Amino acid sequence: MDSFKNRVLKSSGNISEQPPATVASFTLGKAMNDTEIRAELPNNHVFSQDDLWMIADLIKKQPNGGSGELLNNEVNIFYVQVGALVFVVGVFWNGSGWDVDGWELDEDCQWDGGYRVFSRNG
């Protein structure tokens, strides 16, 4: 959670209540790196810092880790732009609450098949 706060939330404004949003998602069929995943997504798939409410809304809809759009047994991946950089934001259920973390794009790391990837322009 600290890396998400330091990389993504640090320069964000307040996330206010917004109307419900629809986002698109797909589940990885095999292990893929960030470049491979992003090649499968629509051109405008990156969430802005102003869109963080959309991720918060998805979490809010599954307060106890129940079933819903977010997987509760695998990592949910979002690409978020902060200034000129794009970060990976991962949301996952730890058994007692949702963890949110942020990482730099990494071509040497592969995300496992079964993870769910969300797109901004759904």
Query: Which residue spans within the chain are E strands per DSSP?
Result: 24-27, 76-82, 85-93, 98-104, 116-119
Give the residue among 25, 29, 1 at the shortest CA–CA distance from 78. Answer: 25
**What's the pLDDT at 15?**
52
Average of pLDDT values for 23-27?
94
**What's the pLDDT at 7?**
47
**Cβ atoms of 119 and 47 closer than 8 Å:** no
Residue 87 tokens read as 């970060």
Q: Is the pLDDT of residue 81 over 80?
A: yes
**What's the pLDDT at 44?**
86
